[in-house]
Every structure is written in C-alpha cells, then in structure tokens.
Amino acid sequence: MTKATPVMLIVLDGWGVGEKTSTNAVHMAKTPNMDYWTNHYPSTTLLAHNGAVGLPEGQMGNSEVGHLNLGAGRVVYQDFTRINRAIETGALTDNKVLNQVLAQTRADDKTLHLMGLISDGGVHSHLNHLYALVQIAANIGLTRVCIHAFMDGRDTPPQSGHGYLKELQHHLDKIGVGRIATIIGRYYAMDRDNRWDRVELAWSALVDGQGCHCRDPITAVAGAYARDENDEFIKPIVIVGNDKKPVGTIGDGDSVIFINFRADRARQMTHAFTDHDFNKFPITTRPHLASFVTCTRYEKDFALPVLRQRGISCFHRLRCNRFNPLPC
C-alpha cells in the first residue's frame, strides 16, 4: 500500500498567468522554483474572473471570489451576479418586503437613506444596484431619498470618484429623486480592522452632520483632491443646503439600506447602527430607525432571529429586533 504523503495548497495572492509582456511583473521576475515545478510536474491554469468564478462577463475577480471558488471546487455564483439577475428579471422590483419598507417610509413621511461604496468596481458594490434602488423608490412614490457616498479609490483608480459622483448626480437628476447627502472615504466608513476611531468620524457625519460642510458634491470632491485626499481617504464631507444645514442626516423614523454586498467592510458600520449595547465609541445621538436593510447577510452571529423565505436572499431587513431576508 502506498504511503500517504502530505499535500499542500498554497495560495499566492497577486500571482497571475498572463501575456508575456514587459508590463507583466510575474513574467519579468526570476522565478526558478516555479519554473522548475511547472516544467517537471503536471500543471494547469484556472480562470479567476468572469463567469468562471460566478461573476458577470468583463468583471475582474478578487481575493474573496477566488478563495470561495477554490474552497467549493465548483463555480459559485456571486452575490454581484445574483443581484444583477434580480434587477434584470424584475424580482427586486416585486420584492414584497422591500416594497413594504419603502411604503412605510413614504407613509411616515420619513427619509430613505442609501449608503455604500460608490463605484463600478464590483468588489463590494456596484452603482447599477444603487440606481435600481433609487428607481424603485421613485416608482413607489418616495421623494426623500438621500445617498451617503462611500468613496472607493482602492478597487478603482484613486481619483475616479469625481467621475462616479458626476454620473450618480446625472442619474438622480434623470430619475427626479434623490440627493447626495454625505461623501466619505472607505478608509473611514468601511474599516474592518476595529479602528473604531475611523468609523466614529463616518458615523458623526452620517448621523450628526459633523464634517467638512459643502454645498456641491462635485466641488467638494475636487476640494478633497486639492488637499491630497484621494477617494479612499476623503475625510467626511457633509452636503448642506442654502440654509447651511445638512441636507440628509440619518434621523428617527428613517430607513437605511446598506448597498454593499460584500460583508467584511460593512460589518462595523452595521454594528454601530444596530447593536443596542454598542460601546466602541461614544454615541450622543442614536436614531431610532424604522428599518435597517443590508444587501447580504453580513454576519451569521447577529443576536437576532432570521426568517428565511424562498428565493435568493439578496437583502436582509432589521426591524423591531427581527432580521428578515428579502427574497429576490
């Protein structure tokens, strides 16, 4: 009987097999060990993008997607793809629980807040999902919709956010509903390393209206660039109206939807809004929200019951101590 020998799975993040050009760092590097192994042992390659890993065509992969597919040993359709499908088929528009949240917000004459990463990077979120939600809100008759723009610059070029905000503003103008209320670099709003001082700055802008006040979002981002603050590191900006008051802080009775579908960088902000015994930083004003909605299940260990419904759970609703997935 052949004696079993150890087998190792080594993941080299950032190592890719591509065209052999002078811009390919792996190809240009001296890699004697890898060269020996591939020349003397069976080897093959795996695609790490597009449909091969459950992403839309033309979409780059990322570490989470690659690790998930390696671990499963099969194609795992990503939340990005599932949400796209829900939008295309109209399943998101027909989502009963989502419509209930929007209808209740309208009936109470309160504000819907949409917050998350504003880019088409497709790693944590996608602008098309935001546009779909704004359109659904407009169709149901909501007029008070505020966008809290978390700037990327990490999965996208460092000063691409200016263009994304202009595109966002164009869509909001076209739909006729929605306004940009805050602009915050992901360094602050999407920390995942328990640097709660960063999250506190973002929270203070979202809830208390504290930060750099500016009337025009596009001008505000240009000003941040002039201060050498690229998208990821833009310090919280609060958009104000002619009366110099914030146009859209999150307050009592409002509803919040966190549009990020990737969980790791959305958990801390979600904890700040939903944990009744939250103590990571002092909170002077805790809004009593009607609803808090997340795009996917961010954490299985929330101390909240989960009501599962049939269909693809691409939204989860936290309301009155219930955390309910919305089927789409």
Assign residue 196 the CATH number of its domain.
3.40.1450.10
Are both 153 and 58 inside the same structural domain?
no
Sign, CA torsion 249/130/175/110: negative
Which of residues 77, 107, 136 is at a domain's end?
Answer: 77
Which two structure tokens, joined as six digits, stand for 315? 């939204």
Q: How far apart are CA 114 and CA 135, in angstroms?
A: 12
Q: How far apart are CA 36 and CA 181, in angstroms?
A: 56
Which of residues 28, 60, 77 is at a domain's end?
Answer: 77
pLDDT of residue 204: 98
Are both 178 and 214 inside the same structural domain?
yes
Q: Into how many domains does the chain fold?
A: 2
Are both 157 and 196 inside the same structural domain?
yes
Which two structure tokens, joined as six digits, stand for 187? 């360094």
Are both 109 and 236 inside the same structural domain?
yes
Are both 72 and 92 inside the same structural domain?
no
pLDDT, tens digit only, all 328 positions of the chain: 678 889 888 888 778 888 999 999 999 999 999 999 999 999 888 888 887 887 877 777 887 788 777 877 788 777 888 888 889 899 889 877 788 889 999 999 999 999 999 999 999 999 999 999 999 999 999 999 999 999 999 999 999 999 999 999 999 999 999 999 999 999 999 999 999 999 999 999 999 999 999 999 999 999 999 999 999 999 999 999 999 999 999 999 999 999 998 889 999 999 999 998 999 999 988 999 998 888 888 887 653 322 233 344 444 444 433 334 443 3
Are both 218 and 250 inside the same structural domain?
yes
Is residue 128 a contact partner of residue 87, using CB atoms and an 8 Å limit?
A: yes
Residue 147's beta-bridge partner residues? 114, 180
Q: How far apart are CA 265 and CA 190, in angstroms?
A: 5
Are both 96 and 67 inside the same structural domain?
no
Catalytic residues, by residue number, are 63
Are both 164 and 245 inside the same structural domain?
yes
Is residue 312 a contact partner of residue 327, using CB atoms and an 8 Å limit?
A: yes
User: HSE (CB half, 13 Å, CA atoms) of 101?
Assistant: 31
Which two structure tokens, joined as six digits, stand for 205? 């802008």
pLDDT of residue 17: 86
- Distance of alpha carbon 105 from its chain centroid, rounded? 22
Are both 13 and 154 inside the same structural domain?
no
Which of residues 61, 77, 93 is at a domain's end?
Answer: 77
Query: Which helix (DSSP H) or strand (DSSP E) does residue 112 occupy?
Result: strand 112-118
Are both 96 and 37 inside the same structural domain?
no
Are both 101 and 224 inside the same structural domain?
yes
Are both 65 and 85 inside the same structural domain?
no
Q: Which domain holds residue 242?
A: 79-327
